[in-house]
Amino acid sequence: MLNKVILIGRLTRDPELRYTTSGMAVAKLGLAVDRPQFNKEREKETDFIDIVVWSKLAEICANNLGKGRLVAVDGRLQIRSYEDNQGVKRKVAEVVAENIKFLDWPRDREATGGNASHGSGSGSGFGSEISFNGDDIPF
């Protein structure tokens, strides 16, 4: 069996970071993802998908992401039921993120002189510059 979701889109709001009673971090993100085809009016349609992020990755997202940022989310689809405040049983579909890649720079990068944080849940910095001298190549 396979339950794998990969999405690329922009955040619809700033991450909402909370902690469980046991102290584990959990963040909720909203992701806007364009559909690959156009509608009858020749306009792109967009899906708005709820993303849940746990543990250290949740804290990284909350500290480094904001509304409008472009991200890639790798995770699994989860459908769960709950009872709302009025006692009505509800169902929600969400993606539980296992990895998130930051695909753009923070908007305030220029304002901070290029020192704004960036990165991803896996620890690699997207867009980091690599410089080398041709003499350093080992082959």
CA atoms within 13 A of residue 135's CA, in its CB half-sphere: 0
Instruction: Give the whole-angstrom CA distance, residue 95 versus residue 77.
Output: 5
The predicted pLDDT at position 108 comes to 66
Q: What is the pTM of this model?
A: 0.72
AA identity, residue 71: V
pLDDT tens-place values along the chain, 139 residues long? 999 999 999 999 999 999 999 999 999 999 999 998 888 888 889 999 999 999 999 999 999 999 999 999 999 999 999 999 999 999 999 999 999 999 988 766 554 444 333 344 444 444 444 444 444 444 4
CATH number assigned to the domain with residue range 5-136, chosen from the 4 options 1.10.3720.10, 3.40.50.880, 2.40.50.140, 1.20.140.10: 2.40.50.140
Instruction: Tell me the backbone φ, ψ of residue 57, rounded to 5 degrees.
Output: -60, -35
Task: Give the start-to-end residue ranges of the domains of the chain.
Answer: 5-136
The predicted pLDDT at position 118 comes to 37
Instruction: Give the whole-angstrom CA distance, residue 78 versus residue 88.
Output: 20
